[in-house]
């Protein structure tokens, strides 16, 4: 491998890792707070992408208006899913909410197929966002810079929210103990909604950037990235926000490097995620940054 292709691979790995990290946060935050694997999270990528697609191509809105609207719509959808499908089951056995999540996921996917058509559509790439950059001997897409930068900004913002604000402290408190949090006058529902809003918003941004990077969308487009990001969240230690970020980057970088260094293994690209997951869980069952809070009773 030449230096150029190596650098190219690094850049690709960072971009893919960024996308994984953004989407993985939604899984980990929701799990942290209501112990639910939100299967519908994956489909939010699809919803955001289609919303942006229709905004630009059908309603002829400026690209940035479409993107913003798509983020808003996806966030509202994420919050609504919690209200309609999860909240009524909050005191039910956990498996019920899990089944509900799978149901919502299938519903969104099949609604997508029926309403939007199963055939893939080309995702528009506004030239203000996606252009070619030539630097020395290498050329790359502007996305190689835009995606990591936006991701970095959002990751910093999420960390600030979770660690420094009162809402963030409340999120962590609620994730520990609903009842006691409510004894501190914390409105648990509000905190849960905030969590879903943050997770869904990030998924929307991730979904749109995903579609810019791989500009073809279809109603099932969220399934594989969603699965990978879920793996990233588990790898990092589900419930831990920095864990999801680390897991996302390890997975993205590892996948790209595997294909780059050993092209003959590229068919195993998707299996790679599972192998890494198994290896990590063998040595650290709780994930890389899995919670292991000391507790005395």
Partner 1 sequence: MLKIENLEVYYGGIHALKGITLEVPENKIVTLVGANGAGKSTTLRAISGLVSPSAGRITFKGEDITGKKTVDIVKGGITLIPEGRRIFANLTVLENLKMGAYARKDKEEIKKDMGKIFELFPRLKEREWQQAGTLSGGEQQMLAIGRALMSRPQLLMMDEPSLGLAPLLVKEVFNIIQDIYNQGMTILLIEQNAAAALQIADYGYVLETGRIVLEGPGKELADNDEVRRAYLGKA
Size, binding site for partner 1 by CB under 8 A: 23
Nearest distance from C-beta of residue 170 to partner 1, angstroms = 6
| Cβ neighbours, 10 Å, residue 230 | 26
**295 lines the binding site for partner 1 (CB under 8 A):** yes
Work out which of 52, 173, 204, 259 binds partner 1, going by CB under 8 A.
173
Enumerate residues 139-168 that contact partner 1 by CB under 8 A: 166
**296 lines the binding site for partner 1 (CB under 8 A):** yes
Nearer to partner 1, 104 or 186 (CB): 186
Residues composing the chain = 297
Nearest distance from C-beta of residue 80 to partner 1, angstroms = 22
Which residues, in sequence order, are bridge partners of residue 217?
121
**91 lines the binding site for partner 1 (CB under 8 A):** no
**193 lines the binding site for partner 1 (CB under 8 A):** no
**184 lines the binding site for partner 1 (CB under 8 A):** yes
Nearest distance from C-beta of residue 177 to partner 1, angstroms = 6
Nearer to partner 1, 186 or 229 (CB): 186
Nearer to partner 1, 138 or 291 (CB): 291
Enumerate residues 253-292 that contact partner 1 by CB under 8 A: 291
Work out which of 80, 187, 270, 279 binds partner 1, going by CB under 8 A.
187
Only segment of 55-63, 88-96, 176-184, 208-216 that touches partner 1 (CB under 8 A): 176-184
Residues that bind partner 1 (CB under 8 A): 166, 169-170, 172-173, 175-177, 179-187, 291, 293-297
């Amino acid at each position: 491998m030449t230096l150029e292709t190596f650098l190219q691979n690094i850049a690709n790995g960072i971009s893919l890792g960024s996308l994984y990290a953004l989407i993985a946060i939604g899984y980990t935050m929701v799990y942290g707070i209501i112990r639910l694997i939100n299967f519908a999270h994956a489909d939010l990528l699809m919803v955001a992408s289609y919303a942006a697609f229709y905004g630009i191509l059908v309603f002829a809105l400026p690209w940035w208006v479409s993107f913003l609207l798509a983020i808003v719509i996806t966030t509202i959808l994420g919050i609504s899913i919690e209200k309609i499908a999860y909240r009524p089951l909050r005191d039910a056995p956990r498996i019920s909410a899990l089944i509900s999540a799978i149901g919502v996921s299938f519903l969104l996917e099949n609604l997508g197929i029926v309403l939007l058509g199963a055939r893939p559509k080309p995702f528009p790439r506004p030239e203000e966002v996606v252009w070619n950059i030539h630097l020395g001997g290498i050329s790359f897409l502007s996305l190689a810079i835009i995606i990591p930068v936006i991701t970095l900004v959002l990751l910093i913002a999420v960390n600030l929210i979770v660690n420094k604000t009162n809402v963030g402290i409340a999120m962590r408190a609620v994730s520990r103990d609903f009842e006691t949090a409510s004894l501190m006058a914390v409105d648990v529902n509000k905190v849960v909604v905030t969590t879903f809003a943050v997770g869904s918003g990030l998924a929307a941004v991730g979904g749109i950037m995903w579609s810019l990077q791989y500009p073809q969308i279809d109603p099932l487009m969220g399934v594989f990235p969603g699965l990978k990001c879920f793996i990233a969240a588990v790898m990092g230690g589900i419930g831990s926000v920095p864990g999801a970020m680390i897991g996302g980057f390890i997975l993205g970088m590892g996948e790209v490097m595997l294909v780059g260094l050993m092209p003959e293994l590229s068919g195993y690209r998707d299996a790679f995620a599972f192998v890494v997951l198994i290896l990590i869980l063998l040595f650290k069952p709780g994930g890389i940054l899995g919670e292991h809070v000391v507790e005395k009773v």
